[in-house]
Amino acid sequence: MSNVLNESSEHGDDNGDVNAVVPQLSRLFDVDCYLKNYRKEIERRYREFRTLLQRIETNEPGGIDKFTRSYEEFGVHAHSDGTITWKEWCPGATGLFLWGEFNQWTDNQYEFKNIGYGKYELTLPPIVNQETNSVVPRIPHNSIVKLRVATRDGRHIDRISPWASYVTRTEKAVVYEQKFWNPPQKYIFKNARPAKPSCLRIYESHVGIASWEGKVSTYKHFTLDVLPRIKKLGYNSIQLMAIMEHAYYGSFGYQVTSFFAASSRYGPPDDLKELIDAAHGMGLVVLLDVVHSHASKNSADGLNQFDGTNGCYFHDNSRGFHNLWDSRLFNYTEWEVLRFLLSNLRWWVEEYQFDGFRFDGATSMLYHHHGMGTGFSGHYDEYFGMNTDTESLVYLMLANHMLHTTYPFIITIAEEVSGMPALCRPVDEGGTGFDYRLAMAIPDKWIKLLKEQQDDHWNMGDIVHTLTNRRHGEKHISYAESHDQALVGDKTLAFWLMDSQMYTHMSVLSPDSLVIDRGVALHKMIRLITHVLGGEGYLNFMGNEFGHPEWLDFPREGNKESYHYARRQYPLAEDPLLIYQFLNNFDVQMNSLEEKYHWLDSSQGYVSRKHESDKVIVFERAGLIFAFNFHPSISYTDYKIGVQQSGKYRIVLDTDSKEFKGQQRLDHNVDYFTFPEKWDNRDNHMFVYLPCRVAIVLAQESSVNE
């Protein structure tokens, strides 16, 4: 069997024989030869993907392109002549009706026509003004509409369209309501998309908590106040969380109720478009945190029991319920579910101009056990056995194939913890097609160290192993902490390091504090080594760049519906009397240095030294030398380190600098020369001064002023 994907296979074999179509396994095996033992299973999965793709191309008019733009047909649409059309898939219903403010809630006045295959259509002619000879849509813009579903057991239940693009809730209402969004003036994007970055420096963001005030913040506030901060900090990408509408604010956006609606709690749809447009104008790409792994169990304002049954969009058995998340699980074998989810991805790209997606809960999708109560040893049998959910995996392959072949600028990231091989290899190689995966073991390691050990007992080899233990040929996004570590019940790095004195000693006027000095020093070192050694991209959760105090807790009954912890206290980083400014300054310089030398876009760092008693780690990446002294009390003069490239070097970043609240123990005017003698498996060596709890970055002098 050939391992080369022939030209005809991109759209199916000429004879329709999917079994003749195989991935470019030679490329995959070049990256990981151990995958050869699982060749048959990789080919089987790929054939399942090709079969599904071919079925769509064959059975859907317009093929995959039209199929994935079904939002143009389904849901409610106003046309230029004033006509309104509405189409739904409601397979368990015996009838479907529309009512709302536009007809004074008159029941059964507008009945959908059953067109077969569980689909219903309705056409509403416009209202004609005889005097002016003009027409207007029968449903006014921004008025409430509801679907009334007649169920098989004789009930009539009100539902929101799964394709609803705008849903709102009044302050004291229990459920959301769909509004017909048809503004007279459509938002026109002013700025082109930025070029796709070769590496990602991601600012993970939540619009609702972006203000220092105790309230739900807005798209407008984020655009005006937060975007300039992100740009100044040196990030090139924004990951927006909790955008897909979710009735429960405290779910952090992970219990989605309306998949096509941008959350109205932050403002109307055009405000989100303006935010993304402004970000593009600053050269920032914007990624959406997309949740296709599960859905809210809400029925009155969610997808659950849309047609009165437990099926429809979900598995109609125990497989359709996620016990830990208390949510519903999609049936990825259902034709209309594929139409819905794939169209959902294109909707956010086309309508809002998002540049890519971070797929939440990929591990849950990939396995029948959803990763619950299961530890992964890394043995390949765990990935290519019966525990893998092929149907979900094929959906992810199809989604990545569709996105990457349609949009050359698209970026996809998987939140995946098991280490599934080939997750971030192209689909035509037999991979799942993601561009990046999150390096989720890294923040867990830092938290574990801070919880369980004093830093004088940290194991340098263990730290290096965690930072570099990633699949070759698959890109990773490293991070020291994300929103997960900020949530109540855990602690941020800053809180683990300094919570005992963060309320009393974070002023520059406060007495010197060993706790604060240690915390600030390690906070910088942890971020830097994670940024440089941990992957091919870097992520920071909003506020963590300056050591945001306290945890994140959304208003709920347990905290008396308080917004006190559901906010980001950005003014702390701007106050010249507070220490937070120094951590913020370091983030700016760290990102600026990456922008200049592009270490995230370079091959993995070569670690030449991880000395346990010295507590020193030395490595090279992108032509730079990184030296970390984690020892709490011992500084080293003339410390010998290995260097591959000979020459004269200068310090380009120093965590001990004054602008970062360091002790200024290093002279940046000193030249560092290499000597032609091998050391630590490098061709040359040099001698450096390494103060305790300090990291330095050295660059060849010729590159410093470029």
Task: Work out the number of other CB atoms within 10 angstroms of the CB of residue 155.
Answer: 9
User: Phi and psi (nearest 5°) for 607?
Assistant: -90, 115
pLDDT, tens digit, for every residue of 531-556? 999 999 999 999 999 999 988 999 99
Do 70-179 and 601-704 come out as alike in CATH topology?
Answer: yes
pLDDT, tens digit, for every residue of 670-688? 999 999 999 999 999 999 9
Instruction: Name which of 271, 289, 276, 168 is nearest 220 in CA terms.
Output: 271
pLDDT of 15 higher than 70: no
Q: Name which CATH class applies to 70-179.
A: mainly beta
What is the DSSP-derived secondary structure letter of residue 18?
Answer: G
Residue 275 parent element (H or E) = helix 269-281
pLDDT of 47 higher than 80: yes
Torsion region of 116: left, alpha or beta (phi above 0 gives left; psi -120 to 50 gives alpha): left
Q: Is 104 exposed, middle or buried (0-12, 13-18, 19+ CB in 10 A)?
A: exposed
The two tokens of residue 412 are 């996809």
Q: For the chain, give the mean pLDDT.
A: 94
304 contact partners, CB below 8 Å, separation of at least 6: 295, 296, 297, 298, 314, 328
173 contact partners, CB below 8 Å, separation of at least 6: none
H helix and E strand count, the chain: 17, 32
> Under a CB-based contact definition with an 8 Å cutoff, are residues 312 and 91 in contact?
yes
> Under a CB-based contact definition with an 8 Å cutoff, are residues 167 and 264 in contact?
yes
- Please report, rounded to a whole number, the percentage of residues in the chain having pLDDT higher than 90: 90
Which residue(s) pair with 241 in the sheet? 206
pLDDT, tens digit, for every residue of 253-264? 999 999 999 999
The two tokens of residue 645 are 């490239």
pLDDT, tens digit, for every residue of 592-640? 999 999 999 999 999 999 999 999 999 999 999 999 999 999 999 999 9
pLDDT, tens digit, for every residue of 141-173? 999 999 999 999 999 999 999 999 999 998 778
Q: Are strands 134-136 and 127-129 parallel, antiparallel or unpaired?
A: antiparallel
Kindly calculate the radius of gyration of the chain based on its CA atoms and give it in whole angstroms.
28
> 73 by DSSP, 3-state: which?
coil
Give the mean pLDDT of 553-579: 94
b/e sequence 462-498, b meaning 16+ C-beta within 10 Å = ebbebbbebbeebbbbbbbbbbbbbbeebbbbbbbbb
Residue 398 parent element (H or E) = helix 390-406
Active-site amino acid positions = 360, 415
The whole-number pLDDT of residue 372 equals 86
Instruction: Name which of 375, 370, 369, 352 is nearest 360 in CA terms.
Output: 370
> Under a CB-based contact definition with an 8 Å cutoff, are residues 67 and 342 in contact?
yes
CA 62 to chain centre: 31
Q: Name which CATH class applies to 601-704.
A: mainly beta
User: Phi and psi (nearest 5°) for 177?
Assistant: -130, 145
Domain range annotation of the chain: 70-179, 601-704
> Under a CB-based contact definition with an 8 Å cutoff, are residues 543 and 569 in contact?
yes
The whole-number pLDDT of residue 19 equals 59
What is the DSSP-derived secondary structure letter of residue 546?
Answer: G
DSSP secondary structure letters along 652-696 = EEETTSGGGT------TT--EE-BSS-BTTBSEEEEEEE-TTEEE
> Under a CB-based contact definition with an 8 Å cutoff, are residues 696 and 627 in contact?
yes
CA–CA separation, 511 vs 488, rounded Å?
30
CA–CA separation, 83 vs 526, rounded Å?
59
- Say which residue the tokens 């898939």 belong to: 89
- Confidence category of residue 21, pLDDT binned at 50, 70, 90: low
pLDDT, tens digit, for every residue of 649-673? 999 999 999 999 999 999 999 999 9
Give the mean pLDDT of 351-364: 97
Instruction: Name which of 272, 284, 291 is nearest 200 in CA terms.
Output: 284
Q: Are strands 616-621 and 624-629 parallel, antiparallel or unpaired?
A: antiparallel
The whole-number pLDDT of residue 17 equals 60
pLDDT of 591 higher than 50: yes
The whole-number pLDDT of residue 490 equals 78
Beta strands in 277-385 (DSSP E): 285-290, 321-322, 327-328, 356-359
CA–CA separation, 205 vs 638, rounded Å?
43
Q: Whats the size of the chain, residue-wise?
A: 706
pLDDT, tens digit, for every residue of 292-332? 999 999 999 999 999 999 999 999 999 999 999 999 999 99
CA–CA separation, 93 vs 613, rounded Å?
70
Amino acid at 220: K
pLDDT of 344 higher than 70: yes
The whole-number pLDDT of residue 9 equals 36
* H helix intervals, 469-598: 483-486, 493-498, 514-533, 571-574, 580-597
CA neighbours closer than 13 Å in the CB half-sphere of residue 239: 28
The whole-number pLDDT of residue 18 equals 56
Instruction: Name which of 557, 556, 415 is nearest 477 in CA terms.
Output: 415
> Under a CB-based contact definition with an 8 Å cutoff, are residues 450 and 596 in contact?
no
The whole-number pLDDT of residue 20 equals 58
pLDDT of 6 higher than 50: no
User: Phi and psi (nearest 5°) for 141?
Assistant: -60, 135
> 124 by DSSP, 3-state: which?
strand
What is the DSSP-derived secondary structure letter of residue 558?
Answer: G
The whole-number pLDDT of residue 497 equals 96
User: Phi and psi (nearest 5°) for 111?
Assistant: -105, 135
pLDDT of 368 higher than 70: yes
The whole-number pLDDT of residue 705 equals 80
pLDDT, tens digit, for every residue of 79-135? 999 999 999 999 999 999 999 999 999 999 999 999 999 999 999 999 998 777 889
The whole-number pLDDT of residue 170 equals 86
CA–CA separation, 487 vs 466, rounded Å?
23
CA–CA separation, 5 vs 19, rounded Å?
12
User: Phi and psi (nearest 5°) for 229?
Assistant: -65, -45
